[in-house]
């Protein structure tokens, strides 16, 4: 059994109310009574840690839960990997999708057909969670300014973007603010009047993604046309070290900068080695001059550049997973992410798994279709029947 002082220390550090399961009945009753009293008379306790009281309240309501523990399948993702490290005090639940809704589950957990079930699932998790959650969504940073719920499409990621807009933009009111931090992860498309792109590489990528062959794209290809594979790899490294201030900043702030940078360099090298196309830049310029530019050639160049940028983005995400957040004033949240949910394309989640397993010695608790290739066309229906609940055990 843990003493009340030990429990208090863990609560304040990890924000996991389920640590109370290790307490004696007397200590549990004390916590429960105090929380009930404070919640009933909030004006008498203006400085109370609202987050911890909410998490403890949720913990004692666990017997009434049924939705998130009885769910058998979820529409949207098709891969799931749960990883945990006692050393780093982190549990990660990684959902991977295909960026399109193809063959969702016939019925969601409410017994109705739905392509928005992942959004509903996360909302239920947040509503009932006894642990503070850090949720990372593959979301372009600009959506925190631009996205509207009414614009949601059928793709699950779009539903999540719409559902969590107010949480991603921390200036807005988020109804889950006491139990979570919601993170955007995609810093590849930095286009804004107040925040212009910080390197030609990312600007070129943005233009190509919009199927625009601009003078910037052509000038950049002219600069790149005589690069060797080794020289181009060196150029890419400079882009995340100097070119994109978001990636640069988070890498510098991370508690695992050296390991993440080493992984990032090795992964970039392998990717370029696997996909290098000799004279790609020359052929692109030549086709444009001869007015023979084709969507296929533009697409080839885009895909060649997109994956290195995706790897850089994944380095950014990992840096924020292994990070101590600045805390000023009365911030009721853990300094480091402990209980983590990620929702991204399956290609991204495979990168996270590779780093966590092979470079940080995280243990795999559960996996569903982890090793499937990116273009695998399985239904977007995730089997949750073998998942052990609760997802997050106390440290």
Which pLDDT tens digit goes with each residue over 152-195? 344 678 778 778 888 887 666 888 989 999 998 988 766 544 44
**Average pLDDT of span 134-158:** 60
Q: Do 170 and 73 share a structural domain? A: yes
- State the average pLDDT for the chain: 84
Query: Is 191 part of a structural domain of the chain?
Result: no
Kindly report, residue by residue over 260-286, the tens digit of the pLDDT.
Answer: 999 999 999 999 999 999 999 999 999
pLDDT at residue 258 tops 90: yes
Q: Do 353 and 274 share a structural domain? A: no
The reported pLDDT for the residue numbered 152 is 36
Query: Is 226 part of a structural domain of the chain?
Result: yes
Q: What percent of the chain has pLDDT over 70?
A: 83
Query: Is 187 part of a structural domain of the chain?
Result: no
Q: What percent of the chain has pLDDT over 90?
A: 46
pLDDT at residue 204 tops 60: yes
Query: Is 358 part of a structural domain of the chain?
Result: yes
Most confident residue range from 189-198, 311-320, 373-382 = 311-320
Nearest to 191 by CA among 143, 131, 235: 143
Q: Do 163 and 95 share a structural domain? A: yes
**Average pLDDT of span 184-211:** 73
Q: Do 264 and 207 share a structural domain? A: yes
**pTM summary value:** 0.89
Query: Is 267 part of a structural domain of the chain?
Result: yes
The reported pLDDT for the residue numbered 329 is 63
Residue 110: which pLDDT band, with cuts at 50, 70 and 90? low
Q: Do 79 and 56 share a structural domain? A: no
**Average pLDDT of span 46-74:** 79
**Average pLDDT of span 7-16:** 92
Query: Is 388 part of a structural domain of the chain?
Result: no
Q: Do 244 and 296 share a structural domain? A: yes
Domain boundary among the residues 64, 84, 99 is at 64
**320 compared with 381, residue with greater pLDDT:** 320
Domain boundary among the residues 16, 45, 64 is at 64
Query: Is 389 part of a structural domain of the chain?
Result: no
Q: Do 171 and 126 share a structural domain? A: yes
The reported pLDDT for the residue numbered 143 is 44
Q: Do 282 and 230 share a structural domain? A: yes
Q: Do 71 and 60 share a structural domain? A: no
pLDDT at residue 70 tops 50: yes
Task: Name the domain count of the chain.
Answer: 3
Q: Do 303 and 219 share a structural domain? A: yes
The reported pLDDT for the residue numbered 166 is 82
Show the domain range for 355: 67-178+332-383
**End-to-end Cα separation, the chain, in angstroms:** 14
**Average pLDDT of span 114-139:** 85
């Amino acid at each position: 059994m843990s003493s009340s002082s030990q429990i208090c220390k863990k609560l304040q550090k990890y924000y996991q109310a389920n640590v109370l399961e290790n307490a004696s009945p007397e200590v549990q009753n004390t916590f429960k009574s105090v929380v009930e009293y404070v919640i009933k008379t909030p004006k008498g306790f203006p400085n109370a840690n609202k987050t911890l009281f909410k998490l403890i309240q949720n913990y004692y309501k666990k017997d009434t839960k049924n939705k998130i523990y009885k769910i058998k399948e979820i529409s949207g993702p098709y891969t799931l990997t749960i990883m945990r490290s006692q050393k780093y005090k982190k549990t990660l639940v990684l959902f991977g999708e295909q960026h399109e809704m193809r063959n969702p589950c016939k019925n969601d957990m409410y017994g109705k057909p739905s392509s928005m079930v992942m959004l509903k699932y996360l909302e239920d998790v947040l509503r009932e969670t006894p642990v503070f959650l850090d949720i990372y969504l593959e979301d372009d940073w600009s959506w925190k300014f631009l996205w509207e719920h009414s614009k949601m499409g059928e793709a699950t990621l779009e539903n999540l973007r719409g559902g969590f807009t107010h949480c991603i933009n921390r200036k807005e009111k988020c109804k889950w603010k006491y139990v979570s931090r919601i993170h955007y992860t995609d810093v590849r498309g930095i286009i804004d009047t107040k925040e212009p792109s910080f390197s030609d590489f990312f600007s070129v990528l943005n233009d190509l993604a919009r199927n625009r062959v601009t003078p910037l794209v052509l000038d950049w290809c002219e600069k790149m046309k005589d690069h060797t594979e080794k020289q181009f790899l060196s150029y890419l490294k400079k882009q995340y070290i100097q070119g994109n201030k978001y990636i640069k900043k988070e890498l510098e702030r991370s508690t695992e900068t050296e390991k993440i940078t080493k992984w990032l360099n090795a992964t970039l090298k392998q990717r370029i080695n696997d996909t290098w196309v000799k004279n790609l830049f020359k052929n692109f310029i030549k086709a444009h001059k001869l007015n023979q530019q084709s969507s296929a050639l533009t697409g080839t160049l885009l895909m060649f550049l997109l994956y290195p940028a995706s790897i850089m983005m994944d380095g950014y995400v990992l840096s924020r997973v292994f990070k101590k957040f600045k805390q000023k004033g009365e911030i009721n949240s853990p300094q480091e992410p402990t209980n983590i949910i990620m929702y991204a394309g399956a290609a991204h989640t495979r990168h996270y798994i590779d780093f966590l397993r092979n470079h940080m010695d995280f243990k795999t608790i559960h996996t569903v279709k982890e090793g499937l290739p990116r273009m695998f066309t399985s239904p977007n229906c995730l089997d949750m029947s073998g998942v052990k609940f609760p997802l997050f055990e106390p440290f």
